[in-house]
Structure 1
Amino acid sequence: MATLELSIDEDVTVSPIRRTRRLGPLFWAAVAWMTLVFAAATLASVLPLPSPTDMDMLDRRAPASVLHWLGTDGLGRDELARLIYGARISLIVGLCAPVIGITIGGALGMLAGYFRGRFETLVVGSMDVLLAFPPLILALAVTAYLGQSLLNLTCIIGVLSIPAFMRVARAATLTLARREFVIAAQALGATHARILLRELLPNVFLPLLAFFLLGVAVTIVVEGALSFLGLGVPPPISSWGSMIGEGRESLEVAPRLAFLPAITMFLTVLSFNLVGDTLRALTDPRQGAL
């Protein structure tokens, strides 16, 4: 009996340590980088930085110095200031666009997975049509009609992310809709709205949150690609994608102008992917099933 109690106590004390070790150093390094990027973007106007739009044609492509820690670009603008202010644009689009996807797509996916029938067929069919539409053509059409702006860019990417979130929410709802706690709630006379909000939403939200972080990483890449093609926010506002596009003209003279924003975007996207994958593994019911 004493041996049994000792083994139980050991399991209870070792389990949190094992759970912490599962996160690993890469996870915490990714969290640290994300915190640094968020802090720099939030405090950009407070930091002692030059204006990212002030040009000095006599100091074009200058190397790193005390005044310009990362040098200047092809128009004499401070590269570090442009990187930090560009993080604001990339993060705003990267966070707000998936919010549109998780709100609309998550709601549609839960409703389709719970009610099934014709409504599910209609929702899944409409999402398939949206997925079949070329995203670049849609971005070109909306930009040509409404003009280039941060709001339009965010809405375009947000609409394009709806099908992915809908599928994740629908798949999670399908696995939960016939579970014992849902059947018990139905037997007790709970309404559909109460079951969806009180029983299903807390369980569907965790996989959606993990997928949200992965969606942020993809959105940052998509925004960078559109800005690289000239479909992003209009100048003089800069994002990492537009900085890469402007830096390609100076690859032979100053390759750092393209590589610095590219490396910053790479590390940010990698960090969101690592954190998202880790949270997805931790919230996977198959991994934690007893």
Structure 2
Amino acid sequence: MATLDLALEEEVVAALPARRKRRLGPVFWAAIAWMVFIFVAAIFADVLPLPSPTDMDMLNRRAPFSALHWLGTDGLGRDELARLVYGARISLIVGLGAPVIGVTIGGALGMLAGYFRGRFETLVVGSMDVLLAFPPLILALAVTAYLGQSILNLTCILGMLGIPAFMRVARAATLTLARREFVIAAQALGASHARILLRELLPNVMLPLLAFFLLGVAVIIVAEGALSFLGLGVPPPIASWGSMIGEGRESLDVAPQLAFLPAIAMFLTVLSFNLVGDTLRALTDPRQGAL
């Protein structure tokens, strides 16, 4: 019987790496490749051989694909490829900056609420429920219209809207970890609350937060695109995928690529972040490894 149990255990352990390897299939690596491509293009946009995304040529409006303009020009004669590349920079700045705000504030509040419990937890959860009661897009529209259009305002608004979601993820992870043996042992040895939170809980809470961070980036990119599409995103003439889609809808009958190209770029980027984030979430979820 012991031999059978040992053989079964070895078979399960040997199957785990193979199962994990299958999860990181070609679709995952294709998503990683697209993300790397977008990051490289956005970071090195200034040194790439691209024309200015704001220079207009009214005599060359809605030009087709050519050697001079690889993806043609938009309704104002601006190079479409250059605007796509610079629009990727804006989407990534907002898409990464807003979740950083959310994960920093929301993660800290969630860990404190899950660790200390009591009235503090009730206050934090109640505050997040109040924030969640407002329709996010309507709230973002109202605040953006009041504060004005800028990349900083847009990033801060979307970051504040992401705090409740990150708080819930951090609180759920902390509630599970706070009853684990290593935390109880640290408390028995007289470790301070700050040491337990920073040394024992934070490294373990960061794993689910990182996975959720990537999913949050995808959501923020869509939200930024929606606000820019409605004219309340980044101010013109700054290129943004959402504003490009909004401008391109006026030319759908004569130049549909002006709306479809930024839409495809946004779709592939959001899909890539979702695929990578969901895969990392599955790999870091302790329930996936339970036998």
Question: Where does structure 2 lack aligned partners over 5 or more consecutive residues?
Answer: none
Which residue pairs with 1:88 in the alignment? 89
> Do residues 138 (structure 1) and 139 (structure 2) align?
yes
Give the equivalent residue in structure 1 for 2:38. 37
Report what 1:215 is aligned to: 216
Instruction: Give the Å deviation of 1:7.
Output: 8.8
Aligned pairs (5 A) from 1:230-245: 230-245=231-246
Count, aligned residues:
290
Q: Tell me how far apart the structure 2 counterparts of residues 146 and 11 of structure 1 sit (CA, whole Å).
A: 57
1:8 shift after superposition: 8.2
Residues 1:119 and 2:120 aligned together: yes
How far residue 26 of structure 1 moved from its aligned partner, in angstroms, is 0.6
Deviations 1:208-236 (A, max 9, x none): 00000000000000000000011111011
Q: Is the counterpart of residue 250 in structure 1 residue 258 in structure 2?
A: no
* Paired position in structure 1 for 2:62: 61
Letter paired with 2:256:
P
- How do residues 49-198 of structure 1 correspond to structure 2 at under 5 angstroms? 49-198=50-199
RMSD of aligned C-alpha atoms? 2.0
Which one is further off, 135-144 or 61-70? 135-144
- SS of 2:24's equivalent in the other structure is helix
Distance 1:17 1:171 in 2: 29
Instruction: Judge which range, 234-243 or 14-23, deviates more.
Output: 14-23
Q: 1:3: Cα distance to partner?
A: 11
The farther-off stretch of 189-198 and 11-20 is: 11-20
Helix, strand or coil: the match of 1:171?
helix
Shift of 1:139: 2.3
Distance 1:20 1:137 in 2: 42
How far the C-alpha of 1:86 sits from its partner, in A, is 0.3
Q: What's the CA shift string for 1:116-163, capped at 9, x where partnerless?
A: 000000000000011112323432333233211000000000000000
Other structure's SS at 1:237 match = coil
Matched residue type, 1:167 = R
C-alpha separation in 1, matches of 2:12 and 2:160: 47
Q: Provide the secondary structure at the position in 2 that maps to 1:50.
A: coil
Counterparts of 2:36 and 2:168 in 1: how far apart (Å)? 30
2: CA distance between counterparts of 1:24 and 1:68?
36
Whole-Å Cα distance in 1 between the matches of residues 198 and 83 of structure 2? 43
Amino acid at match of 2:211: A
Q: Would you identify which runs of 4 or more consecutive aligned residues in structure 1 move more than 3 Å?
A: 1-18
The alpha-carbon distance between structure 1 residues 9 and 183, as it changes in their structure 2 partners (threshold 3 A), is: closer
Given the two structures, how large is their TM-score scaled by the length of structure 2? 0.94
In structure 2, the partner of 1:24 is: 25
Is there any run of 5+ residues in structure 1 with no aligned partner, and where?
none
Structure 2 CA distance for partners of 1:185 and 1:241, relative to 1, 3 Å: same
Q: Which amino acid aligns with 2:128?
A: M
Is the 8 Å Cα contact of residues 145 and 232 (structure 2) preserved in structure 1? no
Shift in Å, 1:255: 0.7
Task: Evaluate the alpha carbon distance shift between residue 196 and residue 143 of structure 1 in structure 2; reply closer, same or farther with a 3 A threshold.
Answer: same
3-state SS, counterpart of residue 45 of structure 2: coil
* C-alpha distance in 2 between matches for 1:9 and 1:115: 41
Q: SS in structure 1 opposite 2:22? A: helix
